[in-house]
Amino acid sequence: MTTRTEKDTLGTVEVPADAYYGAQTARAVANFPISGLRPHPALVWGTLAIKKCAAKANMATGRLPGEIGDAIVQAADEALAGRFDADFVVDPFQAGAGTSHNMNVNEVLANRAEELLGGTRGVYGRVNPNDHVNMAQSTNDVFPTSLRLAALRLHAGLAPALAGLVASLRKKGKEFDTILKSGRTHLQDAVPLRLGQEFEAYAVALEKNLAGLERALPGLCELGLGGTAVGTGLNAEPRYIELVVAELVRETGFPLRGTANLVETTQNMDPFVACSAALKGTAINLVRIANDLRLLASGPRTGFNEIALPALQPGSSIMPGKVNPVLPEVTDMVGFQVIGADTVITLAAQAGQLELNVMMPVIAHNLLFAMDILRNTVLRLAEGCIEGVTANAERCRRYLDDSLGLVTVLAPYIGYAAAAEVAKESARTGESIREIVLARGLLEPERLAAIMEPYPLTSPGVPGKKV
């Protein structure tokens, strides 16, 4: 590999000759061969947007010469269009606070701006990564702002995906609304409900999770950009702080605003904790729903078999004809991963010390990864599973007729103790609830039929009583 020699404050470094990054990035590549991963594209996008807007703001204050600022803006636009994707190379597991990531972007933009002004890559004769691209900035305000922007961008994809899953579940709720079945609590027989009520309840739960994600957005929109190193705004003019936020609003379209306390915003990871907690809550419900789908579709001969899921692939390398609930299974695994990511974010957020939390890179990696896999999972679960679910109405009704939970409807008429005796006899003999009640003369046939009419049992009220 052909290299060029660059110099930083620690000495000289060999950098690949065709790379747009420079010495500090090359050091980071050598120092952190940890995961083999690249920075998340949304995090790169967020950082590039900041650099572009910072150059515009610094030109507006008169601090950054127009020729240099325009070159940085053009370089940023080229990078935002994907031209330098291969040059953003720092492992997500890197030095604290994200300095290596910030310098990676600074160096790429400086080298391209240098070229645009007629200079040579790696020389920095006209454009310097620190003095010009990083002007009025610090990693400590750039990186958390980049993460805010990245999370807002990913939310714009996650929210409609989750809303689509809600809509699919609600559609099935309506489709299955006339199908009566036995409810189950503790995995034991319980009172009747409609299959549609189960699916509508799933939709409502995820709708609440979606609202929780929306509630996390205002915190992500509050920026500490301009706080520089410790939130005091050293080396950043007040006019710049105002202008750079306004530029970012124009660049991203997000309802961003500056914070009232730059020191607190520099110290505090609360917005990411809140966003991650909302993701975790969503993951918990997705796992619960996926497990219900697996139970309801279990069998087909030896399980519940109340619903059938679409057959997507052969389920066994040894058992011919076996089909497994693969999308609910992968939903479980993704849910576990999102819950684990939240644990990492929780630990990292509380590890902040004094004026800075240096664990931001691992927060960024876990938050953005969780948002990505959650979005992809709910898309597949809706399209590949929920939309193709069918109901086995006959099996549902058979379980309902056999359910010991039906005895509950008799309690207001014959008393709890007598109803319990009926349930025990049914379990012991296999006779139905109806047969035992009639044989014992506990209720007249017409009265019993009115009380045990199944559909009214799935709505509020006392069975058999006129309102």
Q: Nearest 5°: CA angle at 436, between 435 and 442?
A: 110
Annotated active-site residue in 168, 316, 426, 432: 316
DSSP 146-206: HHHHHHHHHHHHHHHHHHHHHHHHHHHHHHTTT-EEEEEETTEEEEEEEHHHHHHHHHHHH
Residues in contact with 140: Cβ distance below 8 Å, sequence separation at least 6, in sequence order: 97, 227, 228, 229, 230, 231, 266, 356
Please give the distance of CA 51 from its chain centroid, rounded to a whole number.
Answer: 27
Short-list 114, 99, 93, CA closest to 146: 99
3-state secondary structure at position 260: coil
The reply to whether 316 belongs to the active site is yes
Whose tokens are 């939130």? That residue is 231
By the 8 A CB rule, do 135 and 64 touch? Answer: yes
Q: CB–CB of 119/126 below 8 Å?
A: yes
Tokens 């997000």 — which residue?
Answer: 254
User: From residue 415, how far is each of 108, 164, 203, 453 by CA, in Å?
Assistant: 79, 46, 36, 19
Q: Report the amino acid identity of residue 467.
A: V
Place of tokens 């290299």: 3
Active-site residue list: 316
